[in-house]
Amino acid sequence: MTGFNTISCRTSDLSTGIGLHITVSAGGQTATSSDTLTFPALPIVERVSGCVDDLDTNSTSQCGTEGGQVITLYGKVFVSPLTIFVGGSRCSGETSYDTNTRATCVLPPGTGALKAVTVSSTGQTSSDLVKKLSYAAPSITAIESDACTPLDPLTVVNCPSHGGVPITIEGRNFGGSLAGALIGSALCQSPQQDPIFPHRKLVCTIPPGTASGLGVLLLQSGGALTESGAKLSYSQCQPGLRVSSADQYSCTACENGKMADVLSAKTCTECFPGKRANAEKSACVDCAPGFSSPQGSDVCFQCSTGKFASAPGLVQCEDCAPGSYADTAGRSICIPVAAGYFQDMSGQTVQKPCPRGYVNPTSNNPTCQACGIGRYQSEMAQFECENCPAGSIAPSSGSSACTNCTAGFYNSASGQSSWYVR
């Protein structure tokens, strides 16, 4: 006390007062001021709970975007009346408890992670750096479109590749407005949230596409993206068709001699030599034995006469070897020449008879053998020679007839090549 008319004192730390009268007692006398004193302290938020709480970080997460959960704040200087804000949106039903160290309120709708939780009391507002509340990420429970074929609640197929058809996405925690959706990497067009259940249902227009197994993901406005979701597949160009180069969404048949063996092929593949495209143009198949084909063919061609192809998938037909022939087209093997016949050239269509004086004792021989001396063959196409009868000779090989003995000579045995003098 100084000067008999001035008194100084200090309020307690973190205390607060609003409209307080000052009472002074001295010398057994008491006096109360008509003026009032207000000395607010700054509110402090230390912990938030009410959704999925984390005691290590004093925070809570996975709060529903629709709001409505009662959250509890722990801290200091929560003096009524007070207001509580989460990410700039005001809670409702704020109430202070336990000598101003605990407060509750009803969470407002919202989206996003690590939202600032602030308390305003006695004209002071807590720091907005306290970010201890996170709303839940969206989840998808079903997708549906009348233009697609459902496989299960989370999978649709055969959606039109030109797009332009609506799809309904259902789930939870979409946020109250401005949510969007991705199909693969493309935005689902013109998203509209349900007017009655905006946090649970959204309708958008499928963009054009051709791929299969695309993820359908929902994106909150200012919030999170679904980590996993539904799957959408567009109508696929079937094997034998390719995606049109004109618009990238319609299907075009593969050109002659080409095939596509996968769904929604970008290009068709030319068939290799020895193969042809099947009728559906979905595969290249081997040409059958007796046939061959050039590269990029829709048909296999018969081997011409004199040629053969012994195995499937041959690039070209081969000439029949000497000793064989092919008298018809499309042969897988050549015909061996028969006994009594020969063929000394390759790529031939007929067998030739052995000439007189010559024979072919076995099949598949390219040449005939001359009858030895003392033997002959007077007929064509024979497989063995005959001995000259007694009284005749064949002095040289390759004889077609025997020579009778002349006067003064004789030959009493068959198969002889010379005479004897009488």
* Domain residue ranges in the chain: 1-134, 139-234, 252-332
Please, what's the b/e burial string for 280-316 (b: 16 or more CB within 10 A of its CB; e: otherwise)?
ebbbbbbbbbbbbbeebbbebbbbebbbbbeebbbee
By C-alpha distance, which of 8, 9, 11 is closest to 77? 11
pLDDT of residue 20: 66
pLDDT in tens, 133-152: 999 999 999 999 999 999 99
Please state the length of the chain: 422
Lowest mean pLDDT among 275-279, 331-335, 344-348, 407-411: 407-411
Phi-psi region of 153 (alpha: psi -120 to 50; beta: other; left: phi over 0): alpha
Q: Do the beta carbons of residue 141 and residue 152 sit within 8 Å?
A: no
In angstroms, the CA 319 to CA 308 distance is 7
* pTM > 0.95: no
- Give the pLDDT of residue 41: 76
Convert the pLDDT of each residue in 6-38 to its tens digit: 777 776 655 555 556 777 777 677 877 777 665
Nearest 10 degrees: CA dihedral of 142, 144, 150, 155?
-40
CATH of domain 1-134: 2.60.40.10
Question: Residue 1 above 50 pLDDT?
Answer: no
Alpha helices in 101-178 (DSSP H): none
Of 124-128, 286-290, 342-346, give the lowest mean pLDDT range: 124-128
Query: How many CA within 13 A on the CB side of residue 180?
Result: 12
Alpha carbon distance 307, 88 (integer Å): 89
Q: Are domains 1-134 and 139-234 of this chain identical in fold? A: yes
pLDDT digits (tens, 9 = 90+) for 61-103: 999 999 999 999 999 989 888 999 999 999 999 888 878 899 9
Query: How many Å apart are CA 322 and CA 338, to the nearest integer?
Result: 13
Architecture of domain 139-234: Sandwich (2.60)
